[in-house]
Amino acid sequence: MNDQALREPTLLILTAIADAPRHGYAIAQEVEKISEGRTKMRTGTLYGALERLLEQELIAVHEEEVVDGRRRRSYALAPRGREVLAAEAARLARTAQEATRRLGLGGAGASLGTSFRAFSPASFRASFRSGRAVVDA
């Protein structure tokens, strides 16, 4: 992996399995939930992406079983994937913070150096929709 930003589908897939291993259908559901319905992964696209992420050693097969004659795998974030996702989350937070600062939405003293206390995607989205793009703890 290089220093380029992750493509959104990759970011969403890695995020979907960051807290727990999931099988393909559950990953697709999580991606849709995380993206608030903006991203719906088709089966072929999802499994192609999972194979690519396996090759890049960003994810690993957590468990494999046969259910009703079909192979069913669950996937987990690999250590390298955890590092890449953490770096991308930090990059996105810095970018969002700078955008907030430049828009003048952070109040007095908002700057790139201040942290997003209690930052979470859900709280950020909620405050952004209300016109306040900064999360106050």
CB 116 within 8 A of CB 100: no
Instruction: Report the percentage of the chain scoring pLDDT > 70.
Output: 75
- Distance separating alpha carbons of residues 120 and 91, to the nearest angstrom: 14
What pLDDT is recorded for position 118?
Answer: 45
Give the C-alpha separation, 120 to 137, whole Å.
11
**Cβ-Cβ contacts under 8 Å for 137 (sequence gap 6 or more):** 117, 118
Paired tokens of 25? 């259908």
Q: Report whether pLDDT(86) > 60.
A: yes
Average pLDDT over residues 26-47: 95
Instruction: Tell me what the pLDDT averaged over the chain comes to.
Output: 83
Counted residue by residue, the chain has a size of 137
Distance CA 56, CA 39 (A): 22
pLDDT tens digits for range 91-126? 999 999 999 999 998 755 444 444 444 445 554 444
